[in-house]
Chains A and B, each alone.
Chain A
Amino acid sequence: MHVPPRHADAAIGPEHDPDAAVSIHDMTVAYQRRPVLWDLDLDIPRGVLAAVIGPNGAGKSTMIKACLGLVPKASGSVRLLGGRPRAVRGRIGYVPQRESVDWDFPVSALDVVCMGMYRRIGWFRPVRRRHRDAAMTALDRVGLADFAKRQISRLSGGQQQRVFLARALVQEADLYFMDEPFASVDAATESAILEVLRELRDGGRTVVVVHHDLQTAREYFDWLVLLNTRLVASGAMGTTWTPGNLRSTYGGRLTLLEDVGRAMGEAGGGIKR
């Protein structure tokens, strides 16, 4: 019998919004032989700072990895910046979780930042002075200019995270995916990262951040994707940050909901909006 190719990208169906930075349709991701994301359907517009929020195991990192094609999809399709992920890969920046690399590797902070420019430098060409200068500028922006020559294991966790961020900066991508950049970093790093993220957004770029801290989410971001193995809600922070949506995301975690309530109270009582 004739069996047609089973290509997710060959799929047809509802049109993707070409103006969206991220457009996901009907995405189901089976990870470890079990679906962990069901029927995901969402658009994230360009030029926003978006938080992906949900409990542990909700599939937040999986969603990002599936968008980038690092994890195979069981069904559905993804468009980034209006094109297929593979085709626009050069315009996408990815900041992985810190544990994903070997920090004992004998490279300096500056070397790591330069890696963000390898596509632009091209094959067979060495890293030149101007590339190193650009990397130094990026390190300076995250406050690490003095540590450029340091081997990366001799940086603190927060500094390592900022090195990753500097590498994302030199990529000059239009769309960034960042996996838990705020996880276990010091306060100085947190505000440095936030500042950079806002600069990126103000420069018209889109940043999608996996975030775990409900307390800060509302203050930091202007677009919200609530995820719990399926999409709970996706939209502008003001309209999406509602008790109902949060409860839907986090279920009956009462203590947590109290925290949320307090957080919302502190944030200026945005519940009634």
Chain B
Amino acid sequence: MSGPILATGPETEGLLRILLLQDFNTRIVVAGAMLLGAVGGLVGTFLMFRRRALIGDVLGHAMLPGVAGAFLLLQVLGFERNLPGLLTGGAVAATLAGLMVLGLRKITRLGDDAVMAIVLSGFFGFGVVLLSIVQTTGGGGQAGLEDFVFGKTASMVTADVVVIAIGGLGVAIVGSILFKDLGLLCFDESFSASIGRPSGLLDLVLLTMAVLTALIGLQAVGLVLVVAVMVIPPAAARFITDDLRKTVLWSSGIGATGCWIGVTLSAVAPGLPAGAMIVLSMAGLFVVTLVLGGRRGLVPGWLLARRVRRRVGRDHLLRSMLEHRELTGESEVAVETILGFRVWSAGEVSASLRAGRRVGEVVEVEPGRWRLSERGELEAIALVRNHRLWEYYLLRHADIAASHVDRAADRIEHVLDPVLVRSLEVEVGAAIGARAPESPHPLGDVASVEEPEPGG
């Protein structure tokens, strides 16, 4: 039952058989695990936005007394140990725990986190008590119950997957029907209540979905780790997208993929605990999205921050050099003089100069002396014009603060309509005057050189 999924054979052949799902049993286990991952990702997204991500942990731990209690009850009544009975026990206990969390939250001023920790410890403690009774009553029961604590994916059979599929589908259907209502509850509880959405009832629905997820996760990853199925995928999806709908989709996808990888790994190396492998696979996917995720990932974020810093530096450099030329009439300028234009460090200045040289906007005439190239001058004029137009616009027309406008980056033409830009140019005309011709160069040109290729 708890042995390897596959018949033994040459290793590569075994791997292929697993990857190609040739084995019926493998297919069952993979399907079940992937369904679990998808459902966990769906429910977990709402839990995370409701700021109750760790309720999955409470529900998981709370199943121990349910399962152990059901085991004892079945024993006393003289029944064989059977899975539906144990799961029912787990479901009852988890539901009670969930209700206790919601109830304590209502009648005390304790925070969500405190209430969850209190309920978790009480239920899990009761589970440990019952487990110690199971231990002393003898019989092989204890070993079977341990599977629930740490998970035994490989022992899934068709009936389990059917149960998972039914439960999972139910959760998915409820989740999509109530999608917008649950989303609103998570985003703005008071508004949701003000338009007649019963917060208590919706929380109850969400709780039921979480209990079902924990229940179907019990077999695969065990009650201690079931929280991972509901926490890791949505957290990973947040690095990729800001949109609730897409977060749900990504989260389900990441959950399913993580479960598939985990199950496959544990099938290839039967000694590895399947539940732990599923969690670690999900964690691996999490790290990938953390590093590379398009929305909040580290690398894109770091690149973006560096780009902003460089753009600010280039902007400052070109404008300062243009202003210097116009004030003094000299086109060449020493680095020391540039340093005096603004508050910036020698490092910042030399980095900006080097970057400018790479794209041909500044030229080093002799060591330590620089001037604008022809192209750099056009760029500088365009920058000055852009800044002035933006400022003028903000002075005259903007009725809110312009913190959403990046004056160096956003070409005014890209944001405002051309008629307004023309009228701004006319209004600001005298101020810009000879320095910045109305249209220094074709605008398409500007866009194409705006982001210099690194090292180009």
Q: Do chains A and B touch in the complex (CB under 8 A)?
A: yes
**Residue B401 contacts which of A14, A55, A248 (CB distance < 8 angstroms)?**
A55
Question: Contact: B343 with A13, CB < 8 Å?
Answer: yes
Does residue B24 face the partner (Cβ distance < 8 Å to A)?
A: no
B399 lies within 8 A of chain A by Cβ: yes
Interface size on B, residues (CB 8 A): 38
Q: Does A230 contact B (CB under 8 A)?
A: yes
Residue among A1, A10, A11 with max Cβ neighbours from chain B (10 Å) = A11
Give the CA-CA distance A8 to B404 in the complex, in Å.
Answer: 24
Complex contacts, B313 vs chain A, CB 8 Å: 75
B420 interfacial contact with A, CB 8 Å? no
A229 touches B403 (CB 8 A): yes
Select one of B304, B343, B405, B407 contacting A11, CB under 8 A. Answer: B343
A269 to B305, CA, bound (A): 47
B83-137 residues at the A interface, CB under 8 angstroms: 109
A32-40, A162-170, A181-189: which lies at the interface:
A32-40
Please determine whether A30 and B402 come into contact, CB atoms closer than 8 angstroms. Answer: no
The 8 A CB mask of B382-399 against A (1 = contact, 0 = none) is: 000000000100111111
Interface positions, chain A 216-238, Cβ under 8 Å from B, are 228-230
Given A229-B402, A250-B399: A75 in contact with B394 (beta carbons within 8 A)? no
Also in contact, A36 and B403, with CB within 8 A (given A11-B344, A30-B312, A75-B348):
yes
Q: Is A45 an interface residue (CB 8 A)?
A: no
Contact with B along A37-66 (1 / 0, CB 8 A): 010000000000000001111110000000
B374 contacts chain A at the CB level, 8 A cutoff = no
B299 at the interface (CB under 8 A from A): no
B272 at interface by CB-CB < 8 Å = no
Q: B268 to nearest A CB, angstroms?
A: 42
Question: Does B400 touch A at the CB level, under 8 Å?
Answer: yes
Give the distance in Å from the alpha carbon of A77 to the alpha carbon of B344 in the complex. Answer: 8
CB distance from B5 to the nearest CB of A (A): 47
- Does residue B351 face the partner (Cβ distance < 8 Å to A)? yes
In the assembled complex, B4 has its CB within 8 A of some CB on chain A? no
Q: Are B396 and A74 touching (Cβ within 8 A)?
A: no
Contact in complex: B395, A5 (CB < 8 Å)? no
Residue A266 is within 8 A (CB to CB) of chain B in the complex:
no
Question: What residues of B have a CB within 8 angstroms of the CB of A132 in the complex?
Answer: none
Contact code string B322-353 (vs A, CB < 8 Å = 1, else 0): 00000000000000000111111111101100
In the complex, which residues of chain B have a beta carbon less than 8 angstroms from the beta carbon of A4?
345-347, 350-351
Chain B nearest Cβ from A38, distance in angstroms: 6
Within the complex, what minimum Cβ distance (angstroms) separates A39 from chain B?
Answer: 8
Asked whether, in the complex, the Cβ of A5 is within 8 Å of the Cβ of B345, the reply is yes
> Nearest Cβ distance between residue A251 and chain B, in whole angstroms?
4
CB of A30 within 8 A of CB of B345, answer no
B288 at the interface (CB under 8 A from A): no
B146 to nearest A CB, angstroms? Answer: 41
Residue interface mask A76-104, B partner, CB < 8 A = 1: 11000000000000000000000000001
How near does chain B come to A227, taking the closest CB pair, in angstroms?
9
Bound CA–CA A229/B346 (angstroms) = 26
In the assembled complex, the Cα of A27 lies from the Cα of B333 at a distance in Å of 24
Contact A59–B109 (Cβ < 8 Å): no
Chain A CB within 10 Å, residue with most, of B109, B342, B343, B344: B343
Say if the beta carbon of A12 comes within 8 Å of chain B: yes
| Closest B residue by C-beta to A232 | B395
The interface size of chain A toward B, counting residues with CB under 8 Å, comes to 41
Take A38-B407, A230-B391 as given contacts and tell me if A26 and B399 are in contact as well, using a CB distance cutoff of 8 Å: no
Asked whether any CB of chain B lies closer than 8 Å to the CB of A272, the reply is: no
The answer to whether A7 and B308 touch across the interface, beta carbons within 8 angstroms, is: no
Q: Which residues of B contact A26 (CB under 8 A)?
A: 342-344
Residues of A with C-beta under 8 A to B402: 228-229
- A96 CB to closest chain B CB (Å) equals 20
Determine how close the nearest CB of chain A comes to the CB of B367; give it in whole angstroms.
15
Tell me whether A8 and B345 are in contact (CB under 8 A): yes
CB of A58 within 8 A of CB of B401, answer yes
Taken together as a complex, chains A and B put the C-alpha atoms of A248 and B401 apart, in Å, by 11
Verify A33–B342 contact, CB threshold 8 A.
no
Contact of B343 among A3, A36, A77, A248 (CB under 8 A): A77
Asked if A59 meets B403 with Cβ closer than 8 Å, knowing A33-B305, A252-B398, the reply is yes
Please name all residues of chain B whose beta carbon is closer than 8 Å to the beta carbon of A10 when the two chains form the complex: 345, 347
B391 surroundings in chain A (CB, below 8 A): 230
B422: A residues at CB distance < 8 A: none
In angstroms, Cα B396 to Cα A55, docked, is 14
Select from chain B the residue with minimum beta-carbon distance to A248.
B395
Distance from B366 Cβ to chain A, minimum over Cβ atoms (Å): 20
Nearest-CB distance from B391 to chain A (Å)?
7
Given contacts A3-B351, A6-B347, A74-B309, contact A251 B341 (CB under 8 A): no
Tell me, in angstroms, the Cα distance from A162 to B403 when the chains sit together: 31
Chain B residues lying within 8 Å of A160, measured Cβ to Cβ, are: none
Structural contact, B350 and A251, CB atoms closer than 8 A: no
B277-311: CB near A (< 8 Å → 1, else 0) gives 00000000000000000000000010011001100
- B413 contacts A by Cβ under 8 Å: no
Q: Which of A7, A28, A30, A38 contacts B305 (CB 8 A)?
A: A30
Alpha-carbon distance between A25 and B344 when the two chains are bound, in angstroms: 10
Contact among A3, A6, A28, A229 for B394, CB-based, below 8 A: A229
A251 near B394 with CB under 8 A, answer yes
- Within the complex, the shortest CB–CB distance from A1 to chain B, in Å, comes to 8
* Among B301, B348, B399, B405, contact of A33 (Cβ-Cβ < 8 Å): B301
Instruction: Give which listed residue, A12, A34, A55, A248, contacts B400 with CB less than 8 A.
Output: A55
Contacts of B408 in A (CB 8 A): 35
Give the Cβ gap from A220 to chain B, nearest Cβ, in Å.
Answer: 22
**6 closest Cβ pairs, A-B complex:** A4-B347, A13-B343, A57-B401, A58-B401, A26-B343, A25-B343
CB-defined A-B contacts under 8 Å, sample of 23: A4-B345, A4-B347, A5-B347, A6-B348, A6-B351, A11-B344, A12-B343, A12-B345, A13-B341, A13-B342, A30-B308, A33-B304, A35-B312, A54-B401, A55-B401, A59-B401, A74-B308, A104-B109, A228-B401, A228-B402, A229-B403, A230-B394, A250-B399
Please give 19 more A-B residue pairs, beta carbons under 8 A apart, in addition to A1-B354, A12-B340, A14-B343.
A4-B346, A11-B345, A12-B346, A13-B341, A13-B342, A14-B340, A26-B342, A30-B305, A30-B308, A34-B404, A34-B406, A54-B401, A57-B404, A58-B403, A75-B342, A248-B395, A251-B395, A251-B397, A252-B397
Residues in chain A within 8 A of chain B (CB atoms): 1, 3-8, 10-14, 25-26, 28, 30, 33-36, 38, 54-59, 74-77, 104, 228-230, 247-248, 250-253
